[in-house]
């Protein structure tokens, strides 16, 4: 299955310390990818060591995605560790803030947009420059169900994820002919820490589960396959796609 062969590839995964990000890091590791986990958490090196102890090639890079200078510096540091090569960029990191629209603090708006959109563009740009020189590369962004819906009390998150979907399309228009595939995954309702309150709300949990044709919430394992597909040669003719990974929620 050479189409899915990722052995020896180099990847950056943001927000890879926990949740969906950690699950996709694991998927890449299992496929033979060398991974740099980027995260603001102090646990990033601990998590990287956990993977290394299992025999995988992983490094942990602590980075503040809200600081453009830090992002650029850590990108150069990672690139040196990868001998100047980068095959895969997975922009997974994201933040959330909930307030009624008329009460939404502007500082929260700026925080969410900066991490969920601005940092994504900066990293795509940095990776794109390397991949253009290589003549190939895979960029995978994390969109959301709120790339399609408006949500409730989450105007900044909805705006940022809608923008990520459009950014993905814009980048693919310019870079597809240069051998770079830029696509996005849109996770549905996932059983992660970000959704703890929803999971604990019996009424909302039941309501959401009833709409999902698969009759269950997603897990980090459900993200592995789509991520591996988008990172591999199997997706070489896929560009600008926003792929729902939602158990069918979107089409219900």
Q: pLDDT tens, position by position, for the chain (252 residues)? A: 699 999 999 999 999 999 999 999 999 999 999 999 999 999 999 999 999 999 999 999 999 999 999 999 999 999 999 999 999 999 999 999 999 999 999 999 999 999 999 999 999 999 999 999 999 999 999 999 999 999 999 999 999 999 999 999 999 999 999 999 999 999 999 998 878 888 889 998 999 999 999 999 999 999 999 999 999 999 999 999 999 999 999 999
CATH 3.30.460.10 fits 2-191+220-244, yes or no: no
The angle subtended at Cα 41 by Cα 36 and Cα 45, nearest 5°, is 45
Q: What is the 3-state secondary structure (H, E, C) of 58-119?
A: EEEEECCCCCHHHHHHHHHHHHHHCCCCCCEEEECCCCCCCCCHHHCCHHHHHHHHHHHHHH
Query: Can you give the pLDDT at residue 31?
Result: 98
Structural contact between residues 147 and 161, judged by C-beta atoms closer than 8 angstroms? yes
Q: Which of 244, 243, 251, 252 is nearest to 210 (CA)?
A: 252
Q: Which pLDDT belongs to residue 196? A: 82
Instruction: Write down the pTM of the prediction.
Output: 0.96
Q: What is the largest CA-CA distance in the chain?
A: 53
Q: What is the pLDDT of residue 1?
A: 67
Q: Are 181 and 238 a contacting pair, CB within 8 Å?
A: yes
CA distance 124 to 71: 11
Q: Which of 157, 189, 237, 249 is catalytic?
A: 157
Phi, psi (deg, nearest 5) at residue 163: -70, -35
Closest CA to 88 of 130, 46, 44, 30: 130
| Residue 157 a catalytic site member | yes
Boundaries of every domain in the chain = 2-191+220-244
- Residue with the two structure tokens 């939404």: 104
Strands of the sheet containing 34-39, edge to edge, are 58-62, 34-39, 10-14, 88-91, 137-142, 180-187, 242-245
Look-up of token digits 């269950």: 216
């Amino acid at each position: 299955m050479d189409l899915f062969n990722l052995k020896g590839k180099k990847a950056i995964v943001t927000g890879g310390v926990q949740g969906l990000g950690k699950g996709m890091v694991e998927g890449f590791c299992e496929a033979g990818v060398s991974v740099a986990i980027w995260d603001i958490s102090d646990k990033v090196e601990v998590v990287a060591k956990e993977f290394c102890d299992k025999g995988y090639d992983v490094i942990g890079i602590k980075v503040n995605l809200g600081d453009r200078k830090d992002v650029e510096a850590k990108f150069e540091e990672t690139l040196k560790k990868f001998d100047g090569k980068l095959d895969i960029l997975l922009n997974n990191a994201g933040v959330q803030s909930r307030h009624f629209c008329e009460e939404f603090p502007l500082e929260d708006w700026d925080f969410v947009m900066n991490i969920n959109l601005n940092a994504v563009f900066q990293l795509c740009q940095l990776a794109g420059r390397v991949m253009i020189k290589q003549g190939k590369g895979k960029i995978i962004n994390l969109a959301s169900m709120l790339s399609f819906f408006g949500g409730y009390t989450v105007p900044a998150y909805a705006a940022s994820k809608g923008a990520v979907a459009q950014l993905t399309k814009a980048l693919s228009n310019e870079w597809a002919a240069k051998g770079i595939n830029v696509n996005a995954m849109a996770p549905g309702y996932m059983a992660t820490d970000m959704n703890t309150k929803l999971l604990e709300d019996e009424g909302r949990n039941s309501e959401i589960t009833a709409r999902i044709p698969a009759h269950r919430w997603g897990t980090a394992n459900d993200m592995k396959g789509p991520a591996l597909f988008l990172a591999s040669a199997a997706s070489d003719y896929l560009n600008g796609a926003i792929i729902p990974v939602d158990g069918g929620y979107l089409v219900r």
